[in-house]
Amino acid sequence: MLKCPNCGRKAEITKDWACRWCSYPLLSASFIKEKAQREAEAAVKTKQEEETARREAEKAEKHAAKEAEKQAKEKAQREAEAAVKTKQEEEKARREAEKTEKHAAKEAEEQTKREAIEAEKQAEEQARRKTIAAAREALKAEKQAEEKAQRDVIEAGAEIYEGQFKLVLQSLSLDVKQIRRFEGYLKQIENLKIVLSGGSQEEGIIIVVSIQKPINLTNIIGEIPVVEKVQKIDKNIIVTLKTAADNS
Chain centroid to Cα 73, Å, comes to 52
Residue 55 domain-assigned?
A: no
Cβ neighbours of residue 92 under 8 Å, at least 6 residues apart?
none
How far apart, in Å, do the first and last CA atoms of the chain sit?
A: 185
Global model pTM greater than 0.75: no
DSSP string of 176-209, one letter each residue:
HHHHHHHHHHHHTSTTEEEEEEEEETTTEEEEEE
pLDDT for 247: 61
pLDDT for 27: 66
Given a contact cutoff of 8 angstroms between Cβ atoms, the answer to whether 200 and 209 are in contact is no
Residue 221 domain-assigned?
A: yes
Cβ neighbours of residue 190 under 8 Å, at least 6 residues apart?
215
Residue 220 domain-assigned?
A: yes
Rounded to an integer, what distance in angstroms lies between the CA atom of residue 216 and that of residue 41?
160
Rounded to an integer, what distance in angstroms lies between the CA atom of residue 27 and that of residue 11?
11
Residue 185 domain-assigned?
A: yes
Residue 76 domain-assigned?
A: no
**Domain coverage including residue 191:** 161-247
Given a contact cutoff of 8 angstroms between Cβ atoms, the answer to whether 33 and 42 are in contact is no
pLDDT for 15: 62
pLDDT along the chain (248 residues), means of 10: 78 70 73 73 88 88 87 92 94 94 94 95 94 91 71 60 89 80 92 88 85 88 92 87 71
Chain centroid to Cα 24, Å, comes to 114
Residue 191 domain-assigned?
A: yes
- What single-letter amino acid sits at 146? E
For residue 240, the surrounding DSSP H or E stretch is strand 236-241
For residue 232, the surrounding DSSP H or E stretch is strand 227-233
Q: What's the number of domains the chain is made of? A: 1
Residue 30 domain-assigned?
A: no
